[in-house]
Copies of this chain bind each other. A is one copy, B any other.
């Protein structure tokens, strides 16, 4: 494939001039510009982006680290990122980690190797200190509350307290909590708030999908001591719970109230009460923070949407 020097030769100009033409720099006479463009045309020239990246030291690619693409929570954040990236003509490199250290490291190494201009970590398993140590190679934004790095987050502690408050006001006393993984900043915040506000503890882990919700109902029914309300990981789990309740004749919300997280279409459609999280904005803000010079922590608000399950 023809390169810029071939073009220079063909157009009888210097490579600098070719580069100027290609980049719309001023200070190129019309005739030379024309000559270059003709050469470009006839030799079917196009830039090698890797050379551009190397030379410029930038790629206009940002990495996005997330555990699962298909989970609505993350795909919405991703969507927000994509939307904002599109504005600046940046591209997105995806690192689906499944919460594996190695995969997260790959992303960090790509940043280090200048393949990425920045990195957005939607969720992680690596220690914060490790992530931070890479921040000297480029901007890193986290979607959780941290003090050392740029971050966008939701105050999950408060959201849980608000949810519990809401449930208690409606007369529910034995409030349970469903969560996905056992570790993680966001999870910890939820658990801490929960333990702070509730004496009895009904905590269900590994609750992530519809079928997990169904499983939880079965689990609850087997037990004599059962919650009368649940704060649910997300709308999908709630949908599963709702579904299995119907099958088993458990009346929602009388026998079991449900307050889920995310407030996706599904919640609206099934009339599930839900804590709305501005995930799209979260992605957008995360992207914007990449190019913010000063350290910033950006908190986003949640809001409780009251429907028929509470």
Contacts and interface: CB of A to CB of B under 8 A. Distances in A.
Contact of A93 (B61, B89, B114): B61
Main secondary structure on chain A at its contact with chain B?
A: helix
A76 interface: yes
Given A93-B61, A93-B91, A269-B214, A114 B78 contact: no
Best-surrounded residue of A54, A61, A72, A95 (most CB of chain B within 10 A): A54
Nearest to A264: B210
A186 interface: no
A216 to B, nearest CB: 13
A26 to B, nearest CB: 25
Given A46-B112, A94-B94, A69 B59 contact: no
Contact of A114 (B50, B110, B270): B50
A265 interface: yes
B265 A211 contact: yes
A33 B304 CA distance: 61
A50 to B, nearest CB: 4
A269 B114 contact: no
A106 B88 CA distance: 13
Given A210-B265, A243-B269, A94 B82 contact: yes
A19 interface: no
A269 B209 CA distance: 10
Interface string A46-71: 11111111100101010000000110
25 contacts: A47-B113, A49-B110, A49-B113, A50-B50, A50-B53, A50-B59, A52-B113, A53-B115, A54-B54, A61-B93, A69-B78, A69-B82, A70-B75, A70-B76, A75-B75, A79-B96, A86-B96, A91-B95, A91-B110, A92-B93, A92-B96, A211-B268, A211-B269, A239-B266, A239-B269
Please give me the 7 A-B residue pairs with the lowest Cβ-Cβ distance, nearest first.
A49-B113, A50-B54, A70-B75, A50-B53, A49-B115, A92-B94, A210-B269
